[in-house]
Amino acid sequence: MGVRYPLVLLLLLSSTLLGCTRELDQFSPQIVIVRPKSDITPNSSVTIEGYAWDDKGIIKLTINGKTDLLAKGEFANQYGRKIVRFKFAANKLENNALKYEIRAVDVARNAGTRTISVTVDTKKPSIAIQGVESQTDSVIIRGEATDNRKVQTVYINGEPMNVSPGSEVPFYRVVRRSRANTISIRAVDGVGNEAVRIIYMPAPPPPPEPVVKPDDKDQTTTNTTPRQRTRRNNAGTNTNNLPVRTP
């Protein structure tokens, strides 16, 4: 009887400790999405990739409440691990959008969920040239790049401009003249779609006409030729009026 009593106490203590351990495990699994990096993608074929982790171990990983990736298949050998990696191809997109709910369950039946929504954007930005001003050594270009979501960057001849991303991005740039006879303008949206606009380098403006001074203009109208001056002198001399001496 003295031996059975400590044994009963030991069993009760063990069950109590296990119960406490189970109660103390209130940490839910965490899910991290690695791909796609954004909820908007330019690709119609989408692969969702990530991992779930837990301090005790994960025993279940379901997609939209149906498929358990740890039940069978290539990820089944990760059953019970603290870090479980997953990857699956999204189904054919409907209206260029998809939505998945990923749910991970640990050994204590704590669950963590993560919902991912992906939209496919294949529309390129548009570039509008609002003005091209030709100068002697440079060309001034004004315009605007627009996108159905967000223009991220605008490049002029490969050099990025300092613009604020948005659906409508105005730009202004003074381009120095060079041997190139074209100017390239490229706009890129937030997921990598890009549009390119090429314009020809306009000819420099013609040189200004010479300015005629007022003094030069008066002199031009009053000056006469030597022949005209000779005629005037001959006309003023009357040889018939010379005095005649009488012998």
pLDDT 10s digits, 23-32: 566 799 999 9
**Predicted pLDDT at 24:** 66
Band of residue 19 on the pLDDT scale cut at 50, 70, 90: low
The pLDDT assigned to 244 comes to 47
The pLDDT, as a whole number, for residue 1 is: 46
Confidence of residue 93 (pLDDT cuts 50, 70, 90): low
The pTM assigned to this predicted structure is 0.57
The per-residue pLDDT for range 105-127, each reduced to its tens digit, is: 999 999 999 998 888 888 999 99
Q: What is the largest CA-CA distance in the chain?
A: 196
Q: pLDDT grade, residue 45 (50/70/90)?
A: confident
Model confidence at 95, pLDDT cuts 50, 70, 90, reads low
pLDDT of residue 161: 95
Q: What is the mean pLDDT of the chain?
A: 82
Q: What is the average per-residue pLDDT within 231-241?
A: 53
Q: Is the pLDDT of residue 153 over 90?
A: yes
